[in-house]
Amino acid sequence: MIYSGRTGFGQIFRSIALNSGAIRLNRPINLTQTSSPSPRSVKPDRLLAGIHLSATELIALKPRCNALSLPMHRPSVSALAGAYRSRFRGRGVDFVESRNYLPGDDIRNMDWRVTARTGKAHTKIFQEERERPVLVVVDASSSLYFGTRTRLKSVAAGHLAAAIAWAAVRRGDRIGAFLFAPDKHREFRPAGGRRGAMRVIQGLVDWLNPESLAAGQEPLSVSLERVRHTVRPGSLVLIISDFFSLDEQCHRHLSQLRQHNDVIGCQVMDPAEQDLPAGRFPISDGEQSSMLDTYKTLPRKQFNRMSVAHRDMPRRMFQRHKCGWLILKTTDDAVDVLGRELQILVGRAA
């Protein structure tokens, strides 16, 4: 059984099915009927694990994320400055103290108030930022609630975001999140340590809930614009989406976001979105149901053409703006994919 969501491949499947003379079913197909094995052969708790996120499974990822290394823009050269160099040249972001002016000190850092009060020239001392903000941006459009095997894309996206959160706090970074859905959003400002990761994890569990699925679709550019105006320069931004809501305006926002931040696009896909086997499949978008017959040549060609375009377009857009790129399938292990792909991205950054 294939549950296709109201957008994305839900529309593609339905369009192909109707144009190829599909059989219309009168009864909508329930979301819980997403797995291909017979319900008798699958335990209920295992079936729900692929549909609903739980804080327990996301917390259990923590030990496996200790070895993950998130890419950095450029390493710090000072032992006192933490893991990363501030992007504010020579000024840092944290004021430490004032001291007597010494020849060679930058006159822009003069502390005129202390100088006037003491009668001696003083300069301000700044310390470079010790922690880098890491932001996971999750696009929870209705097309994300799709799956044919192992888990829904929404669950895979939650695993990926949680793994990033644990990897960030392990390195001493601060983790935050922007969670988007049509006509609503939620923001978690970056915070460090286990508390910061747990805030994001609980937010993912609440947000990526199929029971609260928002109808409609909103262009991804709306989300990226909000992120661009809010994110702090010097951040690492990871955008998790299936990118069915990608639009041309994303070019402008990605370009401006990339100027002062490191950006990685993470496309979540189901294997059926890449290669649909020959057969007759009942499909549903939650409101209407049809039978997709891929034994026929025409619908298979239509599907393959749409599938290739969907994979290539977002990848080309992100790479055009020198952003990182990775793909996570619903059958993949999120930690394994991050370990492999981030190793490649870290090597390129070096």
DSSP secondary structure string for all residues of 16-51: HHHHTTPPEESSPPPTT---SS-GGGS-HHHHHHTT
Q: Which residues pair with 122 in a beta bridge?
A: 100
pLDDT band at 12; cut points 50, 70, 90: low
Distances from the Cα of 275 to the Cαs of 17, 237, 294, in angstroms? Answer: 16, 30, 11
Residue 238 covered by a domain: yes
- The residue that leads in pLDDT, 89 or 136, is 136
Q: Which residues pair with 262 in a beta bridge?
A: 236
pLDDT at 86 exceeding the cut of 70: no
CATH for 273: 3.40.50.410
Residue 255 covered by a domain: yes
State the total domains in the chain. Answer: 1
pLDDT band at 75; cut points 50, 70, 90: very low
Enter the DSSP assignment of 255.
H
pLDDT by residue (tens digit) across 158-185?
999 999 999 999 988 999 999 999 888 9
Q: What share of the chain is helix, strand, coil (3-state, %, to 5)?
A: 40, 20, 35
Residue 159 covered by a domain: yes
pLDDT by residue (tens digit) across 224-263?
999 999 998 889 999 999 999 999 999 999 999 999 899 9
Residue 207 covered by a domain: yes
**Closest Cα to residue 127, out of 113, 145, 152, 109?**
109
Q: pTM of this prediction? A: 0.74
The whole-angstrom separation of Cα 31 and Cα 297 is: 29
The whole-angstrom separation of Cα 260 and Cα 254 is: 11
Residue 330 covered by a domain: yes
Residue 15 covered by a domain: no
**DSSP output for 197-226:** HHHHHHHHHHHS-GGGPPPS---HHHHHHH
pLDDT at 152 exceeding the cut of 60: yes
Residue 34 covered by a domain: no
The whole-angstrom separation of Cα 114 and Cα 118 is: 6
Residue 201 covered by a domain: yes
Average pLDDT of the chain to the nearest whole number: 79
* Domain range for 313: 52-73+131-281+297-349
**Strand order in 174-181's β-sheet?**
184-192, 174-181, 133-139, 236-241, 262-269, 324-329
